[in-house]
Amino acid sequence: MAGEQNLAVSVKSGFINPSVAIVGGGWAGCAAALTLAEAGVRVTLLEASRTLGGRARAVELQGQKLDNGQHILLGAYEQTLQLIERLHATPGLWRLPLSLNQPPDFSLSCPRLPAPLHLLAGLLGAQGLDWREKLAAARWIHSLLNSEIDADHLTVSQLTHTQPEKLNRLLWHPLCISALNTPPGIASGRVFQNVIRAAFGGHNPHSDLLLPQLDLTSLFPAPAAARIVELGGSVRLSSRVTTLDPAPGCITLQTCNDAHTYSHAILAVAPQHLASLIAPVAELRPLVNDVASYTYQAIATAYVQYDPAFRLKKPLFALADGPAQFVFDRGQSHGQAGLLAFVASAAANLPISWIEQAEAQLLRIAHPGTARWRKSIVEKQATYACVPHLARPGNRTQHPRIFLAGDYTDGAYPATLESATLSGVQSANTLLEQL
């Protein structure tokens, strides 16, 4: 079957046996390689590290499979969920109706009503807001969903400046930080509006929170790679591409060990790694300037192991008055009893004592006793800062046989798994159109 599709591609294109290299085995590169392999194209996925998944990958700590950073998905991540569901008999995701709990100050739960009524009901029933604040939130959301506000040139702080201080502090600004990983003072109002509309403007399940129940590499990159190999493709780990050399009709990619020639390449590396790869290609110089303008934001995850008998009352809580915005109970999601993951997004200038501070934040909610071990993973360049008018390139480049994929390419969403997979699939489809 794969062979037949391959022949069809070759005949239509005039490229004799096109072979595509995908550079970067993050979620975008895996999505691109899988899409091409399923269309019958010969693919080679080259990943610099020993593990697939990039910024959303498994790491081993204290003999347990953890992640480089605790992730959460939204029901609106349609592309990502479709890919995961295609590869798993049971998807390994725990779906929870949206609820934000920050005891004792605030709680909001959205019932199973048609969108956006569920949000309206959630806001009106929220604890910790008075009626004036609830109505202000409902009115503002209505105008945001109906595009009555032109958010193009605004930051999130400007977009929310008419909202009561308490709503911004408890709801909108924490949502901005966790969704865009960018402080509201510089975050793009347009992208924030896109996220709100994707979560609350469509169907009720779009606002669901989905907690991974597997490590992130097992959730998508590893089964995608297995399928690629099954379809005749190749996946090469520990294969950092050092030089990219386009010649008429082919592209040669050099790694530390060898060099191979391909008909096309999809570059699925993070924006901070793109410039060094494409600098020698004259047609791609403007791209180098675009990504050079990016700045980056950190995300820190602290894993803290308590007594295995300890569990939170819910699988996740929002936290206030400290560096962490959320705490997740990995016992409930991953069966890792007594293990909590604290997350600090937009985490500039984190103090060394941030884990102790996060544990102190938790004391407002629960008393887990003494920690057995603690480990912090700080991803200093977790995502690009999602600011207004960021130059986000398309999947097609000025070079006819070089394409881009990654969470930073042109799209509605901020740097997320959904941006990455959407971009990977789109890049592959754009390339397929050309064959």
Ligand X SMILES: Cc1cc2nc3c(=O)[nH]c(=O)nc-3n(C[C@H](O)[C@H](O)[C@H](O)COP(=O)(O)OP(=O)(O)OC[C@H]3O[C@@H](n4cnc5c(N)ncnc54)[C@H](O)[C@@H]3O)c2cc1C
Q: What H or E segment, with its residue span, contains residue 209? A: strand 209-212
Q: Does 277 bind ligand X (CB under 6 A)?
A: yes
Interface with ligand X, residue 392, by CB under 6 A: no
Residue at 412: amino acid letter: A
Beta strands in 11-98 (DSSP E): 19-23, 42-46, 58-61, 64-67, 73-74, 93-96
Q: Is residue 40 within 8 Å of residue 3, measured between CB atoms?
A: yes
The interface with ligand X within residues 299-358 (CB under 6 A) comprises 299, 301
Q: Looking at beta carbons only, is 163 or 218 nearer to ligand X?
A: 218
Shortest Å distance, C-beta 316 to ligand X: 11
Shortest Å distance, C-beta 224 to ligand X: 11
Distance CA(128)–CA(119), nearest Å, equals: 16
Name the segment binding ligand X (CB under 6 A); options: 50-58, 112-120, 185-193, 367-375.
50-58
Fill in the DSSP letter of residue 232: T
- Choose between 27 and 294: whose C-beta lies nearer to ligand X: 27
Return the number of the residue (18 or 406) whose C-beta is nearest ligand X.
406
Widest Cα–Cα separation across the chain: 68
> Which range, of 122-130, 309-317, 352-360, 377-385, touches ligand X by CB under 6 A?
377-385
Contact 378, 347 (CB under 8 A): yes
CA-derived radius of gyration, the chain: 22
187 touches ligand X (CB under 6 A): no
Cβ(69)–Cβ(343) below 8 Å:
yes
**Residue 10 to residues 1, 3, 32, 234, Cα–Cα distance (Å):** 15, 11, 19, 19
Q: How many residues bind ligand X, per CB under 6 A? A: 37
47: contact with ligand X by CB under 6 A? yes
Q: If binding is defined by CB under 6 A, does position 54 make contact with ligand X?
A: yes
Q: Could you tell me if 331 and 311 are in contact, meaning their C-beta atoms sit under 8 angstroms apart?
A: yes
Residue from the set 98, 115, 137, 268 that interacts with ligand X by CB under 6 A: 268
Element (DSSP H or E) covering residue 161: none
DSSP conformation class of 293: T
Rounded to the nearest whole angstrom, what is the least distance from the CB of residue 71 to ligand X in the complex? 4
Rule CB under 6 A: say whether 410 interacts with ligand X.
no
CA distance 351 to 194: 33
Binds ligand X (CB under 6 A): choice among 9, 20, 21, 27:
27
- Tokens of residue 252, six digits: 């040669």
Stretch that binds ligand X, among 5-13, 85-93, 256-264, 269-277 (CB under 6 A): 269-277
3-state secondary structure (DSSP) of residue 385: coil
Count of CB atoms situated within 10 Å of the CB of 233: 23
DSSP conformation class of 88: -
Residue of 188, 305, 395, 416 interacting with ligand X (CB under 6 A): 416
Stretch that binds ligand X, among 226-234, 267-275, 307-315, 361-369 (CB under 6 A): 267-275
Site string for ligand X, 216-245 (x = CB under 6 A): ------------------------xx----
Which of 22, 33, 46, 362 touches ligand X (CB under 6 A)?
46
Shorter beta-carbon distance to ligand X: residue 13 or 242: 242
23 part of the interface to ligand X, by CB under 6 A: yes
The pair of structure tokens assigned to 165 is 């201080």
Tell me the closest approach of the beta carbon of residue 345 to ligand X, in angstroms: 8
270 is an interface residue for ligand X by CB under 6 A: yes
CB 55 within 8 A of CB 270: yes
Whole-number Å distance between alpha carbons of 64 and 341: 13
CA separation for the pair 257, 264 (Å, rounded)? 20
Which residue stretch of 25-33, 102-110, 115-123, 385-393 sits at the interface with ligand X (rule: CB under 6 A)?
A: 25-33
Nearest CA-CA partner of 23 in 242, 220, 224, 290: 242
Q: Does 399 bind ligand X (CB under 6 A)?
A: no
Nearer to ligand X, 136 or 316 (CB): 316
When binding is defined by CB under 6 A, the residue of 15, 22, 26, 401 that contacts ligand X is 26
Contact flags string 71-110 toward ligand X, x per CB under 6 A: xxx-------------------------------------
Binding site for ligand X (CB under 6 A): 23-29, 46-49, 54-56, 68-69, 71-73, 240-241, 268-270, 273, 277, 299, 301, 379, 382-383, 406-407, 415-417, 420
